[in-house]
Structure 1
Amino acid sequence: MRTALLTLVLSCILSVQAAEKDPALIQDIRKFLELTNVAELSFADIKTNIELQSRANPDVPAEFWKELTDKLKPQEFVERMVPIYASHFSHAEIKSWIAFFESPHGQSFLKSQVAVLKECSAAGQAYVEEVAAPLLKKLQKK
């Protein structure tokens, strides 16, 4: 078990180091992230989570949350995402995705992506509320 874990960790380190040595891969990952707005959407989720945390923690001053949000930089977040993508996907995969998202079908997907995600999020919230309602009633009866 210990050897398998060490091998896994070492292979992850080596794949990230290999990606760092391949500027074309890094450039294509950045292009993919920009093309698909993955970083912006992820960053928006971070800001949403900060807002939720600020509501859940009213004892933390509002200026802390504002300063935290102001200090977070999307481009710095992108740079943290690049090695993650490099460790999970091949350069060929990244190139294929770029080709797709530059195609008319890919562009159509990207244009609808935000609206689809909002609708899916609302559907998910409604689903949780539907499932939770009888459970909450059951809990209140106890």
Structure 2
Amino acid sequence: MRKWVGMAAGAVLALGTAGQVMAAQPSEKQVRQLFQVMHMERMFDQMNSQMAGVMGQAVPCVPASYWQGFIDASGSQQLLGRMVPIYQHHFSAADVAGLLKFYKSPLGQKVITQMPVTMAEGMKIGQEWGRERGQAMVRQLQQNGTLDANGRCPASPAATTPKPVPKPDH
């Protein structure tokens, strides 16, 4: 009897696990519909504009307008095409259906429009906090004598002034 109970429990676990693994994968059409509802191409345009600004500063000899075409319409479709299998791997058809329902709702649309601004503001606050926290930790290490006044390890070669190398006489 115990043997049968054990086998039955094993079968139930196996079937449950198989059911999770065998969840229907979303179709490419379903995933692309999700991308459309999420306004992914518009997000790519925003990323492209930000990247053009960054690249314009990083490589000032190249006009920022050059980088504006980094993610053009064709590139956008190529990138979305490469993202489809990722969504198919991580989300079931039921998951994507639920996401479609959510993102089509007024709240879902608000999330789409407000998330980039919210994340940008959060990143700014995070950078400020990180800078303040880092400075406080360095001050503490300096007070403990772990770091010198310049923020370097006292025993490191960079903390000492290098001696000039004498020129050989010819």
Shorter-chain TM-score tier: 0.5 to 0.7
Secondary structure at 2:32's aligned position in 1?
helix
Deviations 1:81-114 (A, max 9, x none): 1111111111110011000111122123223222
Partner Cα separation in structure 2 for residue 43 and residue 80 of structure 1: 17
Give a deviation string over 1:34-80, Cα, whole Å, max 9, x none. 21234543664466457546655x5x9526x8656524322221111
Q: What 5-or-longer segments of structure 1 have no aligned partner? A: 1-14
* Separation in 2, partners of 1:99, 1:84: 20
Give the TM-score normalised by structure 1: 0.61
Partner of 1:5: none
- Which of these residues, 14, 29, 37, is aligned with residue 31 of structure 2? 29
Structure with bigger RCO (C-alpha 8 Å, 6+ apart): 1
Q: How many residues align?
A: 118
Structure-2 residue corresponding to 1:8: none
Comparing 29-38 with 65-74, greater Cα deviation is found at 65-74
Which residue is equivalent to 1:62? 62
1:85 matched to which residue of 2?
87
Q: Is the 8 Å Cα contact of residues 55 and 67 (structure 2) preserved in structure 1? A: no
- Kindly report the root-mean-square deviation, in angstroms, between the aligned alpha carbons of the 2 structures: 3.3
Q: Provide the rounded CA distance (Å) in 2 between the counterparts of 1:128 and 1:38.
A: 30
Question: Using a 3 Å threshold, how does the CA distance of structure 1 residues 50 and 75 change in structure 2: closer, same or farther?
Answer: same
Rate the CA distance shift 1:101–1:132 in 2: closer, same or farther, 3 A.
Answer: same
- Residue aligning to 1:94: 96
CA–CA distance in structure 2, aligned partners of residues 76 and 95 of structure 1: 23
In structure 1, distance between residues paired with 2:105 and 2:34: 13
Counting helix residues as a fraction of each chain, which structure ranks higher? 1
TM-score, length of structure 2 as denominator length: 0.52
C-alpha change, 1:41 and 1:126, in structure 2 (3 Å) is farther
Question: Which entry has the higher C-alpha Rg, 1 or 2?
Answer: 2
Q: Percent identity?
A: 20
Retained in 2: the 8 A contact 1:29–1:85? Answer: yes
